[in-house]
Amino acid sequence: MWIDFLCLLVLVVVTWSVASEGPLGAGLDCLCVILAGLLAMNFFEPLAEFCTNNIAASRGWAERWDPICLIGLFAFFVWALRSATVYLTPEFVYMRSAVFELGRWTAALLTGYVTMAFLLTAYHTAPLPEGFLGFVPQRANFFDLAAPDRQWLGFVHYVTEKSLNQSPPRIFDGPRVRLGDPQRPYPNEIWPSFPIRYAARRRSITGAPQPAPETAPVKRVQPAPSRPSGSSPGF
């Protein structure tokens, strides 16, 4: 699939470019890319809504503002953070040859992978036909070896749920849903919908039919006992 080779191209180009800056520069680039990605994911939807309401509100532009704002914010934050680190950090740090090579290639590879994962996530928001260039949201789009976009979404979700948690909670893409009996604890209360929402929007753009839900075979079971009063129903 073309999308797999495009991901590989981004990984190789970014890794090669960042590695040329040495271990210190590559490490700072990696940190800047991660922070820029987190900031962009946090602010792109409010910014896209603002642009839709105040700049261009047609349906075509409303569908374009999400990728424009997401990638634009990412590029701006990378530039701003990298400019600050170049100004504040020393130009050269002495290291042994083995540490120098290992440090710069490790940091550069991580930077390339995060950049690839972020851009693949941004692809979800693009108003393109479903399956364009072989992109499938539910597939591991890196040669069926990994799903960088879902890994990045999981990382953003985890960071906002744990280390960057606020009061009241503002978890990225995570409405809180309680299933079943409210007195019974459920470990998984956060149900992300980012890939589902944008996949549905791409289908609406192209007019593709919605996939039919899978139905489980009906099994004959014994009637369940009546539910005690005061308990809540399940699904």
pLDDT at 174 over 70: no
Buried b or exposed e, range 148-179, using 16+ CB within 10 angstroms: bbbbbbebbbebbeeeeeeeeeebbbbeeeee
Burial class (CB in 10 A: 0-12, 13-18, 19+), 190: middle
Give mean pLDDT, residues 17-39: 93
Q: How far apart are CA 187 and CA 180, in angstroms?
A: 12
- Per-residue confidence (pLDDT) for residue 199, from 0 to 100: 85
Give mean pLDDT, residues 8-18: 96
- Per-residue confidence (pLDDT) for residue 128, from 0 to 100: 85
pLDDT single digits (tens) 144-156: 899 999 999 989 9
More confident residue, 185 or 95: 95
Q: How far apart are CA 30 and CA 78, in angstroms?
A: 10
DSSP-assigned beta bridge partners for residue 190: 176
Is this model's pTM higher than 0.85 or not?
Answer: no
Quick one: pLDDT band at residue 230, thresholds 50, 70, 90? very low
pLDDT at 11 over 90: yes
CA distance readout (Å), 16 to 19, 104, 172: 5, 10, 32
Where exactly are the structural domains of the chain? 2-180+187-206
User: What are 182's two structure tokens?
Assistant: 């409210």
Percent of the chain scoring above 90 in pLDDT: 40
Q: How far apart are CA 23 and CA 34, in angstroms?
A: 16
Q: Are 147 and 199 in contact (CB under 8 A)?
A: no
pLDDT at 222 over 80: no
For the chain, the average pLDDT equals 79
